[in-house]
A and B are shown apart, each in its own frame.
Chain A
Amino acid sequence: MSEPREMSEEKKYYLTQARALVENIEQGNDSEVNSLIESISKFHESTLFQEVGKLTRQLHETLNNFHVDSRVEALTKNEIPDAKERLNYVIKMTEDSANRTLNAVENGLPIAEELKEKSNVLNKKWRRFRQREMPVEEFRELSNEIDNYLSWSVIQSEKVRENFSHILMAQDFQDLTGQVIRRVINLVQEMEGNLIDLVRISGQRMKKEPLEENNGSDSKADGPRIPGCDSHKDRLSSQDDVDELLSSLGF
């Protein structure tokens, strides 16, 4: 009988034991048969234990390494709670902007309507005057009305302009929340990478690839101020603080 060329020690052992077992069964050597079966199963169990032991040690070590990886620690300790704050900030910013816009529209619309109404009334009277259908006394009255309307409309159209300006400024949320969301996307991508790594570790058979370094596109820039964010403790809280710092630098 030809043996496979590359046979492990384990298989060689099983093969010799199996041949001895067949021989002894054929010869009716019961006690020898029993002891052979026992030794085979003991050998099988011990290799199984060794294998499980090896796996457990690897898992333990990699999990330990996983814990001391400062990047992972920073992720779980600071950045995930930070991400929550950041997303809450996005909700707040978009809500504020929507309210600012709606307030400006609600303030501006009645003014626009009043402008239209008063212009309409004056327009009709003016036409009657142009068609010489207006008595002199009424014209004196009209002349006063036009006077009042003109000074009134200067003030009201300025109010309309102000409300448009509020609507314009309320759109700044898109830039600020966009920056925040980009950062949270980066964080989620990094978490995903780490989780894939963890799955690889527990899968054990797959080759571990080095963790991708991902600290965002620009580590120096860290986006809008977010109240309650731990990583934002050293930020100046207002334009006044910024001005003060700059003037201390000779600005």
Chain B
Amino acid sequence: MNKDMKILIVDDFSTMRRIIKNLMRDLGFNNTSEADDGKTALPILQAGDFDFLITDWNMPGMTGLDLIKAVRADPRLSKIPVLMVTAEAKREQIVEAAQAGVNGYVVKPFTAATLKEKIDKIFERLETK
């Protein structure tokens, strides 16, 4: 896993963005950017060559689910691995996120270990492909 990869963290709560950013730094990833909802995230993704997207679900403006759908529909972005980190935990929501094309799903509140495990799993799977 490339530790210099460019990561976008999307969450409407700045405290949660800071938590994820610090956890990523703890895991050795320092190249992170932030956005506060799907609407602001999409142009950032389109403008820069991001390697990984971490997004919340429930955000004003554009939800994380709609952001994932937009990313998967954009040929330049469609291959970006996406980890959803959200408080939404209904069965049909997880199925919906899977269908939209998430690579991993972490339910809030989460631990540092869970986040690491899911990220490792995503990139292990991508490397074996």
The reply to whether B88 and A221 contact each other, CB–CB distance below 8 Å, is yes
- The segment from A120-128, A146-154, A196-204, A232-240 that touches chain B is A232-240
- Provided the pairs A169-B112, A236-B91 are in contact, do residues A223 and B58 lie with their beta carbons within 8 angstroms? yes
The total of Cβ contacts below 8 Å across the A-B interface reads 84
Least CB separation from A173: chain B residue:
B109
- A206 within 8 Å of B (CB atoms): no
Least CB separation from B92: chain A residue:
A234
- The segment from B10-18, B45-53, B68-76 that touches chain A is B10-18
- A172 within 8 Å of B (CB atoms): yes
The reply to whether B16 and A172 contact each other, CB–CB distance below 8 Å, is yes
- A26 within 8 Å of B (CB atoms): no
- Provided the pairs A168-B22, A171-B19 are in contact, do residues A242 and B109 lie with their beta carbons within 8 angstroms? no
The interface residues of chain B, by DSSP majority, are classed as: mixed
Least CB separation from A217: chain B residue:
B60
B-side interface residues, number (CB < 8 Å): 33
A55 to B63, CA, bound (A): 48
- Provided the pairs A168-B22, A179-B87, A246-B105 are in contact, do residues A236 and B94 lie with their beta carbons within 8 angstroms? yes
A225 to B112, CA, bound (A): 19
The reply to whether A168 and B23 contact each other, CB–CB distance below 8 Å, is yes
The reply to whether B23 and A239 contact each other, CB–CB distance below 8 Å, is no
> Which residues between 55 and 80 of chain B lie within 8 Å of chain A, taking CB atoms?
57-58, 60, 63, 65
A108 to chain B, nearest CB (A): 16
The interface residues of chain A, by DSSP majority, are classed as: loop
> Which residues between 76 and 106 of chain B lie within 8 Å of chain A, taking CB atoms?
87-91, 93-95, 98, 104-106
Which B residues lie within 8 Å of A239 (CB)? 106-107, 110, 114
> Which residues between 203 and 235 of chain A lie within 8 Å of chain B, taking CB atoms?
217-218, 220-225, 234-235
B125 to chain A, nearest CB (A): 9
A217 to B37, CA, bound (A): 14
B33 to chain A, nearest CB (A): 19
Residues of chain A touching chain B, judged by Cβ–Cβ distance below 8 Å, are 165, 168-169, 171-172, 174-176, 178-179, 217-218, 220-225, 234-239, 242, 245-246, 249, 251
Q: A223-B58, A237-B89 are in contact. List 5 more A-B contacts (CB 8 A).
A: A168-B22, A172-B15, A172-B109, A218-B63, A236-B107
